């Protein structure tokens, strides 16, 4: 019974944890911002439909950069340029305090398409950083626009953006009399949502392979057990693998009990998951091809929900070995090697997730009868509270560039009705927006570069 309760605590996010006064408060971090202007483009002889494509393209580009408002002041663009693509007038932009200037030109392409050209200038250095041309059609406008925005961002920062990334999540929107939870995929900004599964069952704990080609998740599966006197329907939490290219579904583990909380290692052949077939919930390393298995944790407490640094040198996980669910780290190269408790905040903790560089962990905690998000160094230092007074906040995950965190948040609409949606914040805890709306109850968001 204790394993069932602890699993319910963890994977269905019914109990999590927070609270501690000696932490950095939300929004204390400040940094200088560069002023970036995306100017109105020069227009060729465009048709009405082509003008609409041009306008929507410009809107997507500007909206994309608003997500990075902690880095760029891109909200207001000063006096619009005239023929700024051909003659950028850098002195004027410098006088207005602009650091980076994006100029564009839209020329007619075949049909309703537009040939979009862009240049990026470093105003202070008076240097052209980027020049490119892309054909944009109405049916593929948004992914093309995100790709252009990423190219502009890279030219300024030298780093990739989140603009081409996607978010995997679970929703119960197809539920009827029975609860159903299926997998969905959307753009990073919440647009273009696709349904990935149709199990008419409950999907849990999705994870994405390093090459973004496969999704691993748990599924509540039913089996019929036939005896001479009766037929029983047994339910088990099985681990599945979905190939996104071939749509082939395979079962990785269907051992009795929990087969969940699985993550990929450095390669998709090696995974780490929670199994309870031996009676206790422990974390195992499993080679998918050979079936060879190795114990990572071995304790009378329940050990679940692992997360791993990219180089595989450090694992964080959730365990009740101290009495209640808190966050620990260990070296996964051996069983129970260098185990260390790093969270001491709140009554319960859950869903610890590493940043891309492995230096930080974001997690959920419970304090004062509410769920909130925290960030902490992988060594247990530098605890930062990320949310306060913003609903019930759970299941945080870093973006691929480490600049953002997505999470699920439950808001009470009335005493009997609540809605849970996916939100995005920057790494300092500034809420940037709601990504799902009127899409049922949404859970377990995961970032991917699909």
Q: What confidence tens digit (pLDDT) does each residue in 94-117 have?
A: 988 899 999 999 999 999 999 999
CATH number at residue 109: 3.40.50.10070
pLDDT tier, 373 (very low <50, low <70, confident <90, very high otherwise): very high
Res 8: pLDDT:
38
Q: Does one domain contain both 146 and 250?
A: no
pLDDT-based confidence at residue 443 (cuts at 50, 70, 90): very high
Q: Is residue 288 located within the same domain as residue 220?
A: yes
Which pLDDT value is given to residue 221?
82
pLDDT of res. 338: 97
pLDDT value at residue 2: 43
> Which whole-number Å values give the CA distances from 161 to 200, 295, 386, in the listed order?
35, 37, 22
**Residue 81 binned pLDDT confidence (cut-offs 50, 70, 90):** low
Please check whether residues 124 and 187 belong to one and the same domain: no
- 61: DSSP letter: H
Residues 103 and 207 in one domain: no
* Confidence tier at 415 by pLDDT (50, 70, 90): confident
Q: Check pLDDT > 50 for residue 13.
A: no
Q: What is the mean pLDDT of the chain?
A: 89
Domain boundary at 135, 157, 179, which? 157
The residue to which tokens 């149709």 are assigned: 198
Considering the domain architecture, whether residues 356 and 226 belong to the same structural domain is answered as yes
Q: Are residues 119 and 179 in the same domain?
A: no
Question: Residue 96's pLDDT is what?
Answer: 86
Give the pLDDT confidence of 175-222 residue by residue, as tens digits. 988 899 999 999 999 999 999 999 999 999 999 998 889 999 999 987
Mean per-residue pLDDT for 324-340? 96
Q: Which of 222-226, 262-266, 413-417 has the lowest mean pLDDT?
A: 222-226
Residues in the chain: 450
pLDDT one-digit tens code per residue, 248-290: 999 999 999 999 999 999 887 899 999 999 889 999 999 999 9
pLDDT above 90 for 339: yes
Contact 310, 264 (CB under 8 A): no
Q: Which residue has the tokens 């999704």?
A: 215
Is 266 found in the same domain as 242? yes
| 184 and 152 in a common domain | no
Q: How far is CA 192 from CA 57, 139, 185, in A?
A: 15, 12, 8
- Predicted confidence at residue 74, as pLDDT, reads 62
Residues 45 and 106 in one domain: yes
- What pLDDT score was predicted for residue 411? 87
Q: What percent of the chain has pLDDT over 70?
A: 89
CA distance 185 to 202: 16
81 and 204 in a single domain? The answer is: no
How far is the C-alpha of 399 from the C-alpha of 402, rounded, in Å?
5
> Residue 12: is its pLDDT beyond 60?
no
Can you tell me whether residue 408 is helix, strand or coil? Answer: strand
What pLDDT was estimated at residue 307?
Answer: 96
For every residue of 293-359, DSSP letters joined together read EEES---SS-EEEEEE-TTSS-EEEEE-TTSS-EEEEEETTSTTEEEEE---SSS-EEEEEE-TTSS
Residue 227: what pLDDT? Answer: 67
Residue 79 confidence class, pLDDT cut points 50, 70, 90: low
Structural domain boundaries enclosing 87:
34-157
pLDDT: which is higher, 391 or 12: 391
Q: Which of 64-68, 80-84, 223-227 has the lowest mean pLDDT?
A: 223-227
Which of 102, 132, 157 lies at the terminal end of a domain, its last residue? 157
- Collapsed DSSP state (helix, strand, coil) of residue 149: helix
The number of distinct structural domains making up the chain is: 2
- Binned at pLDDT 50, 70 and 90, residue 78 comes out as very low
pLDDT band at 10 (very low <50, low <70, confident <90, very high): very low
Model confidence at 450: pLDDT above 90 = no
- In this structure, are 196 and 310 located in the same domain? yes
Domain boundary among 99, 130, 157: 157
In terms of domains, do 195 and 304 share one? yes
């Amino acid at each position: 019974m204790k394993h069932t309760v602890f699993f319910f605590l963890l994977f269905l996010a019914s109990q999590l944890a927070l609270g501690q006064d000696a932490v950095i408060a939300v929004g204390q971090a400040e940094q200088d911002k560069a002023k970036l202007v995306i100017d109105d483009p020069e227009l060729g002889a465009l048709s009405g439909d082509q003008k609409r494509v041009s306008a929507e393209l410009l809107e997507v580009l500007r909206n994309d950069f608003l997500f990075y408002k902690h880095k760029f002041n891109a909200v207001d663009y000063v006096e619009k340029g005239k023929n700024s693509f051909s003659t950028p007038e850098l002195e004027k932009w410098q006088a207005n305090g602009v650091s980076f200037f994006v100029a564009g030109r839209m020329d007619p392409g075949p049909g309703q398409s537009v040939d979009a050209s862009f240049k990026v200038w470093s105003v202070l250095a008076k240097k052209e950083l980027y020049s490119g041309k892309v054909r944009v059609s109405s049916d593929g406008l948004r992914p093309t626009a995100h790709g252009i925005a990423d190219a502009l961002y890279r030219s300024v920062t030298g780093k990739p953006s989140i603009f081409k990334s996607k978010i995997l999540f679970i929703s119960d929107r197809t539920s009827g009399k029975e609860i159903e939870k299926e997998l969905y995929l959307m753009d990073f900004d919440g647009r273009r949502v696709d349904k990935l599964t149709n199990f008419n069952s409950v999907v849990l704990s999705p994870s994405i392979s390093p090459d973004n080609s496969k999704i691993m998740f748990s599924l509540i599966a039913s089996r019929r057990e036939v005896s001479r006197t009766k037929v029983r329907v047994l339910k088990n939490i099985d681990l599945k693998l979905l190939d996104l290219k071939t749509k082939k579904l395979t079962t990785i583990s269907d051992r009795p009990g929990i087969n969940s909380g699985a993550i990929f290692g450095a390669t998709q052949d090696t995974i780490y998951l929670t199994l309870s077939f031996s009676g206790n919930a422990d974390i195992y390393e499993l080679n998918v091809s050979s079936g060879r298995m190795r114990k990572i944790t071995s304790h009378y407490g329940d050990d679940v929900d692992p997360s791993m640094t990219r180089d595989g040198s450090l694992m964080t996980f959730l365990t009740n070995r101290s009495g209640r669910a808190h966050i620990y780290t260990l070296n996964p190269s051996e069983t129970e090697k260098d185990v260390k408790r790093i969270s001491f905040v709140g009554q319960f903790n859950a869903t610890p997730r590493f940043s891309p560089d492995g230096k930080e962990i974001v997690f959920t905690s419970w304090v004062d009868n509410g769920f909130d998000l925290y960030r902490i160094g992988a060594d247990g230092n530098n605890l930062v509270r990320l949310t306060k007074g913003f609903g019930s906040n759970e299941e945080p995950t870093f973006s691929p560039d480490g600049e953002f965190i997505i999470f699920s948040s439950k808001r009470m609409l009335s005493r009997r009705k609540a809605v849970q949606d996916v939100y995005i914040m920057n790494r300092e805890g500034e809420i940037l927006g709601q990504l799902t709306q009127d899409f049922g109850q949404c859970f377990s968001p995961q970032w991917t570069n699909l």
